[in-house]
Structure formats: C-alpha cells, structure tokens
Amino acid sequence: MKLPLVIDPCPIVEVTVEIRFETQVPEDAIFGVIYQALKKDFPKASALPMASLPAKVRQSDPNLVQQPLHKLEGDGLIVLVGARSASVGMRGKYPGWAALSERFRTTLARIAGTGIIAKPVRFGLRYINFFQGDVFPKLTFSAAIGEQAVKGEGTFFKTVLSVEKCRLILQIGKDLALVTEPGKTGSVIDIDSFVEAPKVDVGLDAALSAFLENAHLAEKEIFFTLLKPDFLSTLKPTYATD
C-alpha cells in the first residue's frame, strides 16, 4: 500500500514517545537530575497530582508505578517524568515525522545521558487522531451483532495487534471528548506501538532510534489501512513523487 506523506486536515492531536526503565537512582532524585539536563529548553516545571501520593502507595500499585509525577514544558514539546518513566510529547500542531522524531531523539538522548536508566523495560510511541462526528462508517473496520452493524452511542473498541517488529494497542471510539478541548466530542483513532524488554546491544540511542522508525511505519500502515478509499480522498492526501 502506498502511504501518503500528509493529509489535510491533519487529524493528529497527540504524539508521545515513552521509555519505562529500571533505575538505581533514588525516586526523589530522578526529577531533579532530569530537570538539570533539560532546563535550558524546558524552563517551566510543575508537579502533577500523582506526585502528592506517598511513594509507598504508588509503588504498591502496578497501575500507578509508571505514572508521571512532574511536567516540563518547552517550545513545542512537553516532558513527563515519573519514578520509572520518562516521556516526550508534542505540543501544538503536528510538524511532520522528520522534524518531530529528531526532537524526540535529541531530548531522550539528553535524558539517557544523565545515567538514570539502568535498564529499559519498554519503548512506546503513541499517536492519537481526532475526527469530528462518527468515524466508524468511514473505516474498513466494522462491528456487528448478527448482521446488524453496531450504531450505539459511546462505541469503543480496543485490541492488541502483533506486527513484525513491535506490538500495537489499537483503540477506536466515538462520542469522546479531548482532554485539551472537553467541550468538543468526536471520534478517536488511538494507536500505541510498543516493545517490551527492548534489546539495546547497539546502545540505547541507536535502539531507540530504530524503534521509533519501525513503530512509526507500523502505526502509519495500520492507520491508513483503516480508512476507506473514499474517506481518504476527502483528506486530500499528498504522495511522494516517484
């Protein structure tokens, strides 16, 4: 399948890359170490609500242990820092993969350069796409009860797919609101590509760079496979010239 370079309007509202890791650094020191490495480009720092929970409470719950505790804000990017995780997310409009991935790599290399990552346990790349209205009739995916298509309110579908070099958590839902715009509802295609226990024999930076390219391509292929051709044509796709 030939994949478009861009579509217009671009539905991408969020892109985040995350590393979960084991560390020998005390939990209460991790944020300070990362802030010192990034403060020039991420001067605004704030604590998130999860930081108010006692460390023992968070550590005893697998659902909480990877949650971010602090946020750093810079030009076009946000960094979220947890006790065992660090993520870099896009702010504003999607600038294209080439520009965004370069900034992801640079920021994560500076975090890795602090020495806090003793062993990576998960790499993740997540894209969230938002569409006005009900996107399900415009997709190649369908859900039915008997021979009757499901048309209920608040329809939500989630599955985990395995592809050649990663796994994908695919979520599709309608009648959903964006966190950034709670008054606006529509449909979401959420694709989170990940690898667990990533091999870093070639070095952390090289392993992460390879993952990002593999994950981006896998997500892009799934996304465009989901769109019916007539719907894709309304998005004015632009393709590379041969």
- pLDDT of 1 > 80? The answer is no
Tens of pLDDT, residue by residue over 17-39, are 999 999 999 988 999 999 999 99
Query: Domain segments of the chain: what residues?
Result: 25-117, 127-235
Tens of pLDDT, residue by residue over 137-188, are 999 998 888 888 888 888 999 999 999 999 999 999 999 988 777 788 999 9
Is there a contact between 187 and 133 (Cβ–Cβ < 8 Å)?
Answer: yes
The whole model's pTM is what? 0.94
Tens of pLDDT, residue by residue over 56-83, are 888 888 778 889 999 999 999 999 999 9
Q: Which residue, 86, 175, 168, 161, is CA-closest to 127?
A: 168
Provide mean pLDDT across the span 77-90.
96
Q: Which residue, 159, 170, 128, 125, is CA-closest to 12?
A: 128
Query: How far apart (Å, rounded) are the C-alpha atoms in residues 67 and 47?
Result: 12
Q: Which residue, 77, 73, 96, is CA-closest to 16?
A: 77
pLDDT at 180: 76
Residue tagged 């609500």 (tokens): 49
